[in-house]
Structure 1
Amino acid sequence: MKSKNIVSAICLMLILALVAQAQPKPNILLILSDDAGYADFGFQGSQIMKTPHLDRLAKQGMRFEQAYVSAAVCGPSRAGLLTGKYQQRFGFEENNVPGYMSASGTTGDDMGLPLDQLTVANYLQNLGYRTALFGKWHMGNADRFHPLQRGFDEFYGFRGGARSYFEYDDEHPNHRQEDYLERGFGQFEETEVYLTDALADETNAFIERNQDQPFFAFLAFNAVHTPMEAKPEDLAKFPDLEGKRQQLAAMTLALDRAIGQVLDKLKELDLDENTLVVFTNDNGGPSDTNASVNDPLSGTKANHLEGGIRVPFLMRWTGVIDKKSTYAYPISTLDLLPTFVKAAGGHPDTIASLDGVDLMPYVLGNNSDRPHQTLYWKKENRGAIREGDWKLLRFPDRPAELYYLPTDASETNNLATANPEKVKAMYKNLFAWELTLERPKWQLQRKYEGAAMKRMDDYKKK
């Protein structure tokens, strides 16, 4: 009798193994907006912005109430997202933009995602995925940093950090190579199509070509980053707004419409139920340059208040993640790499030095703990640490501030004076983490320092 039970158990295990092998790997679609405000989506409560497609996506899956990026500006934030590691671990602390120089004293093309760092595209490529990036790269302008050298099979977008939404011509004053649209490697070509629409079109073409194999599509919109350039027909839909706010509303509408077209393509090809879709943003909205709104959060892009580092975040995986669900504990875009690798059949626990975690056990309720007890942020001598529900902000020119986020997401009630021991302990923990990091690989050139300090002073006066 015992031998029969053993045989039956072995047979059951074999059947389960065969069933698991027969399950197709999920396609993965990562959609990233650029510089969007925390409150500037319908699913985040906006009564002004029109985002019906993203609102529907939120209802089809899970909305994360406390999603964070690893940096308050786009270059370092993307470096963390792509590697699953705090980008300061490999010296990517500053934006690789004009005004900064490398530690060796050179500027421009010397700056980019270090070549010894693997990206999520590298890992998925090794797991049999066809990988593609559409839109903004901003991980280095030089050929050696190119997306096709970093795990992506296909690329359509631009290497730099920002560009026009309309076609460049030879007379355009902004004609750096990294600003121009590029297909593949070195084939620079402009389009007459509004860029937000063009990126959706290219993503859909990729999905069509690869519908019979697992794919990873990273749709990295430059919307709604400056320049503020909307289509006239979209502007006309917001007659009660004006200036940057009207431009932002129109650009957000175009962004949402383009996302809807990609989601519709998945449905048209019967791929929507086997595609893990994530939508998020690269950092907090810059309320000055594009009039974004981060309510109820304080702060803005480039600082460590919640409005600079907390972002909208949606995840849909039909049949796996419950519809109309929410997740309350803090997560990070550092979690995307291990989550995607695990969903693709890989083993993120074998990847050295990951700071992100596979979110699925938490999302599905199999693990009731927090994905992260502690999260960190750092830029130069400014820093922040969140331990549980407490957050400490460290500044170079004034005492540290302490907030209890469950009752003060707006960070208006500084509790540092009332909790000196907690401030001391969290300050030490932040410093201990910093001791594990590399020195920044580039720094602000001296001629730009005065302007940077003035911007900081102007913000503090508000």
Structure 2
Amino acid sequence: MGSAQQSIMLRLTVLLSLLISAVCSAQTPPNILLILSDDAGYADFGFHGSQVMKTPHLDQLAKQGIQFTQAYVTAAVCGPSRAGLLTGRYQQKFGYEENNVPGYMSSSELTGDDMGLPLDQMTIADHLKKQGYTTGLFGKWHMGNADRFHPLKRGFDTFYGFRGGARSYYEFNQDNVNTRQEDYLERDFGNFEESPKYLTDALADATSAFIEANQNQPFFAFLSFNAVHTPMEADPADRNRFPELTPQRQTLAAMTFSMDRAIGRVLSKLDELNLSANTIVIYTNDNGGPSDTNYSDNTPLSGTKANHLEGGIRVPMLMRWPSQLAANRHYQFPVSTLDLLPTLIQASGGTISANDDLDGVDLWPYLTGQRSSRPHPLLYWKKENRAAIRSGDWKLLRFPDRPAELYDLSSDIGEQHNLAQHHPAKVRQLYQQLFQWELTLERPKWQLKRVYEGKAMERMDNYRRGQPATE
């Protein structure tokens, strides 16, 4: 064989090797890191324009991937929102209306520790385990305290966190007494322990350890922070970084900074193990900020946690997958945390069938430009008599104590100009569409005492950005 032929054969061998490598790489399922914060304000991030909060790692993540400018959750409070995210279904379809578990109950089908994510609902972890993923949950669960609702029985292989909805950021001891079993830190099943570390750091460390232990196989790591939910407890050293703020905002800023720093450590672990290129990283938040309890800022949105104004249901959302998605992009159409399950299942090589009865949409065709339409022509929210529907850029809100309100979000993101009197036909149309959706839902399995509905309306009125005018 001559030198020219040898050269050609060598080139062909190299090319074939590269092609095989590319095919194998393309067929390697991506790792998944889902990061969920708790009760953060819409404006309390650098990538959303804050000049006060310091979130350098999340700001960098926003530049490295896609920032969703109109991302929504399915509920304005923690538990139901997480139920929608975990199942890809409107939680009202299985009777988990917008009330946390457990809670202050009136007469209900279920109460106390009988409340939880129904056992007939598959979670994202259930789906990914079928795809061969190792799955881990780190942090807040809030899907039921009883053993039968435990994360290890809902698709997760590893659990390090707490079953309840909120707890202290410091270890429980004689000086920091706990009275609720569901708030103790638990490793896997029934192994209760307390970490001397600030909880935000402990959860990040456990997530990093899980990633390192499973670096040679596809993994799904769900880092479910309780930050920045109450109680407002910050590392004193972090508080000192914000001397210019009021004491309340200083604490929130410190808690936000520590969360961002913890996220940075987990992302650095991916870099250290050369996993970043083929790891899908998603960051989002579970509902709007409760400005009256943790002093969060939802500007320019109106409203807060627990109501259906944009400040209660629109959240920050970032997604990065360096090997597949271009960096530094903004996606403008409305999306929902309902979409995470089908999107991640498809990315993992799995399939979603009609039998799964999902309400979420696979976003990949939209993110890659294969489809230019809106993923969701309609989006819905409901809590007892209160409800909302978004159709295109129109949004209708239904209340128990006043006429419905109508907003054009394309020009009024702060919901300041109620257009209901000017568009009665649109009000009727959206009202009917909302009702038709409600006919597909189950009756709520539990409800709060009615007095709390009154308090929710008071909170909404107190935290609107001015009273909506009727033009």
Structure 1 residue 83, shift from structure 2 partner: 0.2
Determine whether 1:304 maps to 2:308.
yes
Q: Specify the alignment match of 1:272 in structure 2.
A: 276
Q: Aligned partners of 1:148, 1:451: CA distance in 2, in Å?
A: 33
CA contact (8 A) 1:385 1:392 kept: yes
CA deviation vs aligned residue, 1:7-59 (integer Å, no higher than 9, x gap): xxxxx9xx999936862110000000000000100001000000000000000
Residues 28 and 78 of structure 1, relative CA distance in 2, 3 Å threshold: same
1:285-319 deviation line (CA, Å, top 9, x unaligned) = 11110010111100100000000000000000002
Residues 209-248 of structure 1 aligned to structure 2 (within 5 Å) = 209-248=213-252
TM-score relative to the length of structure 2? 0.92
- Report deviation, 1:412: 0.4
Q: Are residues 1:167 and 2:171 paired?
A: yes
Change (3 A) 1:148 1:250: same
Alpha-carbon distance in 1 for matches of 2:233, 2:89? 34
SS of structure 2 residue aligned to 1:224 = coil
Instruction: Please tell me whether residue 332 in structure 1 is matched to residue 333 in structure 2.
Output: no
Who is 2:458 aligned against? 457
Q: Does 1:99 align with 2:104?
A: yes
CA, structure 1 residues 101+272, in 2 after alignment: closer, same or farther (shift >3 Å)? Answer: farther
In structure 1, the partner of 2:10 is none
Counterpart amino acid of 2:402?
Answer: R
Structure 1 residue 126, shift from structure 2 partner: 0.7
Q: Provide, for residues 440-460 of structure 1, a one-character-per-residue CA deviation record: whole Å limited to 9, x for no partner.
A: 010124xxx435524533542
Equivalent residue for 2:406? 402
Is 1:199 equivalent to 2:203 in the alignment?
A: yes
Q: How far apart are the structure 2 equivalents of 1:442 and 1:355?
A: 22
Q: Aligned to 1:441, which of 445, 448, 453?
A: 445
Corresponding residue number in structure 2 for 1:90? 94
- Percent sequence identity is 67
CA distance in 1, matches of 2:107, 2:278: 43
Please tell me whether the aligned partners of residues 67 and 332 of structure 1 are also in contact (alpha carbons under 8 angstroms). Answer: yes
Mark the runs of 5 or more structure 2 residues left unpaired by the alignment: 1-15, 464-471
SS in 1 for 2:159: strand
- Conserved in 1, the CA contact under 8 Å of 2:65 and 2:329? yes
TM-score (norm 1): 0.93
Partner of 2:137: 133
Aligned residue identity for 1:457: E
| Cα distance per residue 1:35-88 (max 9 Å; x no partner) | 000010000100000000000000000100000000000100000000000000
Correspondence for 2:116:
112
1:420 pairs with 410, 421, 424, which one?
Answer: 424
What is the CA–CA distance in structure 1 between the aligned matches of 2:397 and 2:222, rounded to whole Å? 32
- 1:63 maps to a residue whose letter is Q
**CA separation of 1:121/1:451 partners in 2, compared to 1, >3 Å: closer, same or farther?**
closer
> Structure 2 CA distance, aligned partners of 1:273 and 1:135?
25
Runs of 5+ unmatched residues, structure 1: 1-11
Query: Does structure 1 conserve the Cα–Cα contact (< 8 Å) formed by 2:82 and 2:286?
Result: yes
Aligned equivalents of 2:43, 2:26: Cα separation in 1: 42
User: Per the alignment, in what secondary structure is the counterpart of residue 443 of structure 1?
Assistant: coil
Query: For the residues of structure 2 that align with 1:330 and 1:97, how far apart are their CA atoms?
Result: 31
Which whole-Å CA distance do the structure 2 matches of 1:199 and 1:193 have between them? 9
Task: Report the alpha carbon displacement of residue 396 of structure 1 after superposing the two structures with TM.
Answer: 0.8
Q: Do the aligned partners of 1:229 and 1:247 also contact (CA within 8 Å) in 2?
A: yes
Does residue 387 of the first structure (1) align with residue 391 of the second (2)?
Answer: yes
**SS of the residue 1:279 aligns to:** strand
Deviation at 1:243, TM superposition (A): 2.1
Instruction: Indicate how the Cα distance of structure 1 residues 192 and 101 shifts in structure 2: closer, same or farther if over 3 A, else same.
Output: farther
1: distance between equivalents of 2:55 and 2:459? 33
One of 30, 33, 40 as aligned partner of 1:29: 33
Instruction: Decide which moves more: 172-181 or 67-76.
Output: 172-181
2:367 corresponds to 1:366: no
1:52 maps to amino acid: P
Q: Summarize the Cα distance change of 1:98–1:320 in structure 2 as closer, same or farther, 3 Å threshold.
A: same
Indicate whether 1:188 and 2:188 are aligned. no
Match of 2:75 in 1: 71
Partner SS, residue 199 of structure 1: helix
Flag the 1:278–1:18 CA change in 2: closer, same or farther, 3 A. closer
Determine if contact 2:102/2:113 at 8 Å carries over to the other structure: no
Write the distance in 1 (CA, Å) between the matches of 2:406 and 2:358.
Answer: 28
Alignment deviations for residues 255-285 of structure 1 (CA, whole Å, 9 cap, x no partner): 0000000000000000000100000000001
**Contact map agreement 1:102 1:110 (CA 8 A) in 2:** no
1-side partners of 2:67 and 2:399: how far apart?
32
